Chains A and B, each alone.
Chain A
């Protein structure tokens, strides 16, 4: 009885969570430029439009290049920050780590406005680099926390063994620490990439309509009138996330990367 109600509850949550995905997928294959569910007629022309119509395709490439760059930036800042805290528990390391947590401890609109004003001083709004840097700094939190998780899982005895055998800190990092945190770095990158693809408010503020990422493009085209292309873009986003996280789960230990461990791991 209890077991059944538990299963029913879990399925209810999963179905509710997936409901909008199904509806959007259904709407995206409508034949005419109308929003119907169940779809009337079946056509993939709205998917075609993303790749053939310049505004959509530009938004797609903008989003992709910004996501790739910002993932690299986030990772490059996150790795030394997390490593430094793990190696030296000095106050500066803690301060820096807390600053890295801040973007996720403030309503994002505040970060976005600060960045907009700062970039506007140097004429840096409306270009790819501004958004990529903005996302890179904003999204540092996730890779940083994940890399820390990875570092915590390293047995310190291994490091002591390496040092006794004469390895200096660079060698220890290269041969022990780095290989062990690589899965966490990959997962952190995946997170930063997918969240950058979907981030709205920073892209919106810093892009100033000169650069439109896909979410901003969806936003502005919904204001100017409905097109099923919006639904097909959404479907592609969901598929992209599914592929990225599916790969992470296929080649890595997903529960562990997300912070799970059972007492016997220690």
Chain B
């Protein structure tokens, strides 16, 4: 019987996964496919759904207007910088965390999970408070005598970048945590016994060994940040708006659903292409 099972499984979708197949198919894959189809449909102003079947490339042709390419580049810049910065901070943090004693480690993990679960709405809101004139940290600096009078630091480029990095920190920590705990202590101990300084050990043993994890974390955060919606809207100026805001504007405000679909697909293809290129470069870097 044990020999037959895989054969049967190959022939048809087994009963065990009929339900997952239906759920993922009907509520994830089909909607996605539908979006791809609609991106070629005609836009009809005034109609209830705003579109009708057709086949045209008009929506795709519109990308190449400077407005959309500029916002795509803005998204790219914010996503890669904030993913980079959060990995830069989170990696040493996660590595040290995995070397904590049991109790502080569990407590820190609970804390990180709490921060992780914060909605983008709440994170953006709390940073808008923190960087505001009336309730922000500038008041603390005035109190300490560093600044003369409190000032507002939003909206600004730095605020968006900082908040996005903050939002990514707990994700980065949790992605890298498993591999960090699995790094064998004997390896670092060997380096230390052979006379390498702790700093040197960190850069010549720990970082190269965990490079694939660091890299994965960067990619995942990059993809997620490409879809940031609230942070750039609240903490930035219109020129800092990222792609998701444009998609929302087209779909929910202007009612141009086919164009919004085309934008989404373009965003996806663009993101995945970049990911593929980066992964290839990263592998080459690893072999070297």
Contact = CB atoms under 8 A, between A and B. Distances in A.
Interface of A: 2, 6, 9-10, 13-14, 16-21, 23-24, 26-27, 34-37, 73, 76-78, 80-81, 83-84, 88, 90-93, 96, 99-100, 102-111, 113-121, 133-134, 136-138, 140, 194-195, 197-201, 205, 208, 215-216, 218-219, 222, 230-231, 234, 237-238, 241-242, 245-246, 249, 254-255, 258-263
Contacts of B90: 13
Given A113-B251, A258-B178, A237 B118 contact: yes
A137 B28 CA distance: 7
A27 B129 contact: yes
The 7 A-B residue pairs whose C-beta atoms are closest, nearest first, are A107-B227, A259-B178, A20-B126, A118-B31, A37-B135, A198-B119, A260-B181
Contact of B126 (A21, A88, A200, A205): A21
A35 B139 CA distance: 13
A45 B161 CA distance: 34
25 contacts: A9-B92, A13-B169, A23-B135, A23-B136, A35-B134, A80-B16, A80-B17, A81-B17, A96-B17, A107-B223, A107-B224, A107-B227, A111-B28, A114-B34, A215-B119, A218-B122, A234-B118, A237-B118, A245-B117, A249-B109, A249-B110, A260-B177, A260-B178, A260-B182, A262-B182
Interface of B: 5-6, 9-10, 13-14, 16-17, 19-21, 23-24, 27-32, 34-35, 38, 49, 89-90, 92-93, 96-98, 102, 105-106, 108-115, 117-123, 125-127, 129-130, 132, 134-137, 139, 166, 169-170, 174, 177-178, 181-182, 184, 197-199, 220, 223-224, 226-227, 229-230, 234, 243-244, 247-248, 251-252, 257, 260-261, 264-265, 267-268, 271
Contacts of A201: 227, 229, 244
B119 A200 contact: yes
Quick one: which of A93, A120, A138, A245 has the most chain B CB within 10 A? A245
A14 B24 contact: no
A99 B108 CA distance: 32
Contacts, number: 268
Given A96-B20, A118-B30, A234-B122, 19 more contacts: A13-B90, A13-B169, A19-B137, A24-B126, A27-B135, A78-B20, A108-B227, A110-B227, A113-B260, A114-B34, A137-B28, A205-B252, A208-B252, A215-B120, A218-B121, A218-B122, A222-B125, A237-B117, A245-B110
Contacts of B170: 17
A146 to B, nearest CB: 11
